[in-house]
């Protein structure tokens, strides 16, 4: 193949579907890639699968496939996605059913399993964030999913898959795999894998490359943000890539959007560790060739490590929350009085943590960074607290609501919630521990 | 002038880490950013939020630098009680830093 065109169809589980349809119709793509698994998404999917709330695959799988499949088949576009989440095989079966209903026969759909290592999670591995061994949360574990690399996806494509559905895989690997497959890249050519990882990293958040999460009126203006288009990359066999978006779609693709996304969620740019390579972003060149046309070259790499990252999800109690508004003269004083009253009323409950915010004053950047230049006309008091028992945190919304008749004057618009927390911590395991498998369905 | 006049930022998160990228609108302002927006200054700016010194990585050919902020281990995205549990709004707090000299705001706008 001379070039491979990769489109980004989603940057997270709930992402907008119209831009993906636009790419499938008009992007002249070879592959449409949907990245839909944030750190916590898979733990929630595992929990939903276990409790029978859902099958465990992406909640928008059906809607997305229905919308893009006819265009993908008409235009010869293959699909790669981690929408398999906690149940790739069920996702493949569902996709087969959708394809049959749409009268699209003969599609080969691969499901890649093996990232779920909950049953084999060794308790002596230590969490990267806290240094504690995994066994401290052993009785509360919900999920343990290893970040698989491009390897199994490449194999599925090699075996003729039109659609590949994975569980947890490293985000850039979803994009790197079609490049390895299409160009027959040597998987020990660390420069190519590094450059392919740069391309994947730029695409994996979809609209964040084309002007999403970018607009700052008067400073960084983005045309037609409402109709934001998603990006694609036309990649050559040497790894150089031209990034653009569908003509007429909203947004913009510039040096500025590309540099912001290149370093997004990166720590040391010379050492971005994935299951496939240690990518080096430090000499990446970004050139604007024209309107919404950017060339990216210069990604490099070093040999991969012999470990894989695992996201471990565990039950971490409950969070109770409540909010109330005060407005007009004395709004701040009444909100502060409400906070004092709540602090006193909640004192006797065994909350592990309790936090108050004055929304509009100091809730986001904290006390030190928030200037108190003027008295706010209106203000919203928020209380949030954590405990192991649902009944305990339930006292926060109850006491918040009670401020109507038992608190300062003029409070209104109370909102309350209680949610279960599934916390995520990470650990490293030997690369050979997970045993990926590929299962095929055909429509 | 405000840092916002000559640079833009994006914030990301990983567990209890927050990463902030700072990018000069114009390459010639990178030296000023490099001199003024040191890791020490960013650590002081976010002293209420971080629990150890901020790291800084430079990419001069892109006019960009990357900061890594460590929040206390309890402040992971999934666990934090904060309204902005990710810390996604922190990059705009960086742009509020005052820096000396350079162009005035009108001039800076033309510079972008």
Q: How far apart are CA B36 and CA B33, in angstroms?
A: 5
Separation of CA A226 from chain center: 21
Ranges in chain A, pLDDT < 50:
none
The pLDDT assigned to A250 comes to: 98
Q: What is the pLDDT of residues B42-75, one digit of tens each?
A: 999 999 999 999 999 999 999 999 999 999 877 7
As a residue count, chain A comes to 443
A-contacting residues in B 40-69 (Cβ below 8 Å): 45-49, 55, 57, 59, 61-64, 66, 68
The pLDDT assigned to A206 comes to: 98
Helices (H), B16-97: 30-36, 39-45, 90-94
Answer yes or no: is pLDDT of B4 > 60. yes
What sign for the dihedral angle of Cα B108, A223, A266, A284?
A: negative
Is A303 exposed, middle or buried, given 0-12, 13-18 or 19+ CB atoms closer than 10 A?
exposed
The pLDDT assigned to A420 comes to: 92
Maximum separation of any 2 CA atoms in chain A, in Å: 72
Separation of CA A355 from chain center: 27
Q: Quote the strand ranges of A221-371, DSSP E.
A: 231-236, 241-245, 272-273, 278-280, 285-290, 293-297, 300-302, 307-327, 353-359
Answer yes or no: is pLDDT of B104 > 90. no
Token output for B50: 């971080």
- A247 vs B14, higher pLDDT: A247
Answer yes or no: is pLDDT of B109 > 80. no
Q: Are the C-beta atoms of B87 and B71 separated by less than 8 Å?
A: yes
What sign for the dihedral angle of Cα A226, A249, B5, B18?
A: positive
Nearest to B73 among A130, A366, A386 (CB): A130
Separation of CA B101 from chain center: 19
The pLDDT assigned to B79 comes to: 82
Nearest to A286 among B49, B62, B93 (CB): B62
The band of B107, judged by pLDDT with boundaries at 50, 70 and 90, is: low
Measured in angstroms, the CA of A182 and the nearest CA of chain B are apart by: 30
Taking each helix axis from N to C end, the angle separating A18-26 and A61-75, rounded to the nearest 10 degrees, works out to 10
Residue of B57, B75, B80 for testing the chain A interface, max A β-carbons within 10 Å: B57
Q: Are the C-beta atoms of A134 and A427 separated by less than 8 Å?
A: yes
Q: Are the C-beta atoms of A202 and A33 separated by less than 8 Å?
A: no
Answer yes or no: is pLDDT of B10 > 60. yes
The pLDDT assigned to A130 comes to: 83
Token output for B78: 């999934």
The pLDDT assigned to A120 comes to: 85
User: Helix and strand tally (H, E) in chain B?
Assistant: 4, 4
A-contacting residues in B 15-44 (Cβ below 8 Å): 15-17, 19, 21, 23, 25
Nearest to A256 among B8, B81, B109 (CB): B8
- A127 vs B105, higher pLDDT: A127
Q: Which residues neighbour A227 within 8 Å (Cβ) at sequence distance 6 or greater?
A: A249, A250, A251
Is A374 exposed, middle or buried, given 0-12, 13-18 or 19+ CB atoms closer than 10 A?
exposed
B81 touches chain A (CB under 8 A): yes
Nearest residue in A to B69, CA atom: A267
Separation of CA A440 from chain center: 26
Measured in angstroms, the CA of B90 and the nearest CA of chain A are apart by: 7
Q: How far apart are CA B39 and CA A420, in angstroms?
A: 37
What predicted TM-score, i.e. pTM, was given to this entire model? 0.95
Average per-residue pLDDT for chain B: 89
Measured in angstroms, the CA of B53 and the nearest CA of chain A are apart by: 14
Answer yes or no: is pLDDT of B102 > 80. no
Measured in angstroms, the CA of B16 and the nearest CA of chain A are apart by: 7
């Amino acid at each position: 193949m001379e070039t491979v065109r990769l489109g980004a169809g989603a940057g997270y589980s709930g992402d907008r579907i119209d831009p993906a349809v636009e790419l499938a119709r008009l992007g002249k793509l070879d592959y449409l890639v949907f990245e839909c698994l944030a750190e916590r998404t898979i733990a929630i999917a595992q929990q939903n699968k276990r409790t029978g709330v859902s099958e465990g695959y992406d909640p928008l799988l059906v809607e997305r496939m229905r919308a893009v499949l006819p265009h993908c088949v008409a235009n010869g576009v293959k699909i790669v996605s981690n929408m398999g989440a906690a149940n790739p095989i069920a996702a493949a079966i569902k996709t087969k059913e959708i394809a049959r209903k749409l009268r699209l026969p003969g599609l080969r759909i691969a499901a890649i399993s093996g990232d779920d290592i909950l049953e084999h999670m060794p308790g002596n591995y230590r969490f990267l964030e806290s240094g504690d061994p995994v066994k401290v949360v052993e009785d509360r574990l919900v999920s343990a999913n290893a970040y698989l690399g491009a390897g199994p996806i490449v194999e599925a494509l090699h075996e003729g898959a039109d659609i590949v559905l994975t569980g947890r895989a490293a985000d850039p690997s979803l994009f790197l795999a079609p490049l390895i497959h299409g160009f027959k890249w040597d998987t020990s050519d660390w420069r190519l894998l590094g450059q392919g990882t740069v391309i994947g990293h730029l695409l994996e958040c979809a609209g964040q490359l084309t002007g999403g999460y970018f607009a700052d009126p008067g400073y960084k203006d983005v045309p037609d943000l409402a109709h934001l288009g998603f990006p694609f990359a036309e990649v050559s066999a040497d790894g150089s890539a031209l990034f653009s978006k569908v003509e007429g779609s909203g947004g913009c693709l510039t040096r500025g959007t590309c540099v912001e996304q290149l370093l997004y969620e990166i720590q040391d740019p010379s050492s971005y560790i994935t299951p496939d390579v240690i990518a080096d972003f430090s000499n990446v060149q970004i050139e604007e060739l024209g309107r919404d046309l950017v060339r990216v070259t210069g990604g490099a790499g070093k040999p991969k490590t012999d470990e894989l990252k695992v996201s471990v999800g565990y039950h971490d109690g409950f969070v109770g929350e409540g909010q109330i508004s005060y407005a007009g003269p004395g709004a701040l004083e009444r909100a502060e009085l409400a906070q004092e009253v709540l602090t006193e009323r909640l004192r006797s409950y065994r909350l592990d943590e309790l936090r108050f915010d004055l929304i509009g004053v100091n809730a986001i950047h904290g006390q030190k960074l928030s200037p108190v230049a003027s008295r706010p006309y209106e203000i919203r008091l928020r209380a949030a607290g954590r405990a192991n028992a649902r009944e305990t945190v339930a006292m926060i919304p109850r006491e918040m609501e009670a401020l109507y008749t038992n608190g300062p004057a003029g409070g209104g618009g109370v909102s309350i919630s209680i949610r279960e927390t599934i916390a995520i911590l990470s650990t490293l395991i030997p690369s050979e521990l997970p045993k990926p498998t590929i299962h095929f369905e055909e429509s | 002038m405000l840092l916002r006049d000559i640079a833009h930022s994006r914030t990301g998160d990983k567990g209890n880490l927050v990463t902030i990228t700072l990018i000069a609108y114009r390459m010639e302002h990178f030296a000023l950013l490099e001199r003024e927006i040191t890791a020490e200054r960013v650590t002081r700016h976010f002293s209420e939020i971080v629990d150890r010194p901020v790291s800084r990585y430079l990419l001069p050919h892109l006019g960009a630098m990357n900061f890594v902020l460590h929040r206390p281990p309890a402040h992971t995205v999934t666990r934090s009680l904060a309204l902005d549990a990710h810390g996604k709004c922190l990059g705009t707090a960086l742009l509020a830093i005052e820096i000396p000299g350079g162009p005035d705001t009108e001039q800076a706008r033309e510079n972008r």
